[in-house]
Amino acid sequence: MTVQTATVSTSTDLTGFSLIGGVPVTGTHGEVAGVNPVTGETLAPGYGLVGVDEVDRAAELAWTAFATYRKTAPEARAAFLETIADNIAGLGQALTDRVIAETGLPLPRVLGETGRTVGQLRLFAAVLREGNHHGARIDPAQTDRAPLPRPDIRLTSIALGPVAVFGASNFPLAFSVAGGDTASALAAGCPVIVKAHSAHPGTSELIGRAISDAVATHDLPAGVFSLLFGGGASVGAALVSHPRIKAVGFTGSRSGGLALVAAAAARPEPIPVYAEMSSINPVFVLPGALAQGAAALGEQWVASVATGTGQLCTSPGLVFLPQGPDGEAFTAAAAAAIEKLVATPMLTGGIRDAFDRGAAVFRDHAGVENVAVARANPDVAIGAAPQLYATDAATFVADPALQEEVFGPASLVVTVRDTAEMARILAGLEGQLTVTLHTDGAENGAAELLDEAELRAGRVLFNGWPTGVEVVSAMVHGGPFPATSNAQGTSVGTLAIDRFLRPVSYQNVPAALLPAALRDDNPLGIFRQHDGQLARD
């Protein structure tokens, strides 16, 4: 590797460097560059790929930083997160232009995702100030308890250690360098090493420098943050296998997520991997809802499927309808809506090729009808046309291949006999990020479907569409396998911080040595469970 002597710059001029503890580094293991999916143009600069030695350097710096960073006051970490947010917002048009050039995403989506990224950072600053993430519990000593006295036992949560975060292809901001995994890990007191996604390297550099600048502004240890551009599986495996790394955040394919899970499990000290991997987000439209507006529902479904060219982890690629005229009206309206659309950009050529292979499973299946395909778009170099397919319940249940995620705007309608058949099919589906139910609110079968849905998904929606994930305290963006590798976590919302914390009990610890969250004078001013009662004492 080549280590630059200059410190990280806040200029918006791109350099092609990785950042290891704030120091620009040129990788010497090959090169990647962004590609404009609309024009096909390769974007400057090229980014040198680092190797195992650079992974080791970043991990050791992160471990050194952890000793200090984990003990920073919550207010100090909150201010740090807010500075990152301010730095990202300050990038302005330079960031917007680069995201659009590297992804082909429309301006409203880019502005919305920028706002979401900044908002997540500020949300976790508020979490730190509010203090519930400590999980503080105090069970005071009972020296006169018979037959044995009870010791003083107190509990709070501490940071796990350095976290490896893998940037996502489909969210260049909200699930990448400064996305929810990074924001929640930094809030927890964990240094972060991000492996940037090669689909948007310039965007990643701009955001990485915004974080590194905030580290320097707050005089934090340099190893609190590093950004690596690395070659595929080798650097990813080195990160997950490194003994200094204590947890992993990942959003991507099932094959990629499972490879990281296997590497983490094979370590002498296994570590948790929070991998979001695969979801088809089924929608179940009950007869009452269908009778009230079949055509409108069909049009709304297509709008949700086509959002972001179907490259959203919550895209509803599967809908179940009762057979009959209302179901036919839904499908006809959906087909008409698709035929009005044109192909739109996909993020990379590799993602487009994988979409084509997945859509071919529907297209070439003897039991599946090709209902509608959007028009081609000669003005888009790397694009995909929304398309609609249909089959019956028997065909769907008989072939597991029809249940596999197709990442992109391909959608499948499945007709069923009745609501009871919907419930049986739902009970046999894999784990999902979301399950959506459309109902008139009074019909039989909704309660049975809800019972099955909550066992299959992290989020259950009624009379809506799953695209659009609110960043709020009550949000769960996770779910049973293979939606995620760990259904007990969420990558969106305030509970995301819990993934990077672990509880510790302190028994008869001298008052002067107790963590601030457990001291009798409650210097943080937080709510705590005191002898079983929640209070701010």
* Encoded tokens for 528: 């705590």
Q: What CA–CA distance (Å, rounded) separates 131 from 526?
A: 5
Q: What is the DSSP letter of 45?
A: P
Catalytic residue list contains 276: yes
Q: How far is CA 163 from CA 124, 128, 174, 229, in A?
A: 17, 18, 17, 16
Helix axes 52-69, 232-241, angle to 10 degrees: 40
The residue assigned the tokens 């499908």 is 331
Take residue 349 and report the two structure tokens written for it: 């050529």
- Other CB atoms closer than 10 Å to residue 44's CB: what's the count? 10
Angle between helices 74-103 and 107-130 (to 10 degrees): 170
- DSSP, res 15: -
* Cβ contacts of 318 within 8 Å, gap of 6 or more: 280, 281, 282, 283, 403, 411, 412, 414
Helices 446-456 and 419-428, interaxial angle, to 10°? 10
Q: Which two tokens stand for residue 285?
A: 């439209």
Could you say which of 313, 405, 421, 452 is catalytic?
A: 313
| 299 is a catalytic site residue | no
Burial class of residue 401 (count of CB atoms within 10 Å of its CB; 0-12, 13-18, 19+): exposed
359: left (phi over 0), alpha (psi -120 to 50) or beta: alpha
Q: How many residues does the chain have?
A: 537
Categorise residue 16: left if φ over 0, alpha if ψ from -120 to 50, beta otherwise.
left
Backbone angles phi, psi at 150, to 5 degrees: -100, 130
Which of 159-168 are b and which e, b meaning 16 or more Cβ less than 10 Å from the residue's Cβ? Answer: bbbbbbbbbb
Catalytic-labelled residue, pool 54, 102, 276, 299: 276
SS3 annotation, 312-340: CCCCCCEEEEECCHHHHHHHHHHHHHHHC
Helix ranges, 168-278 (H): 180-188, 201-217, 232-241, 254-265
Query: Do 491 and 175 touch, CB atoms closer than 8 A?
Result: yes
* Residues forming the active site: 276, 313
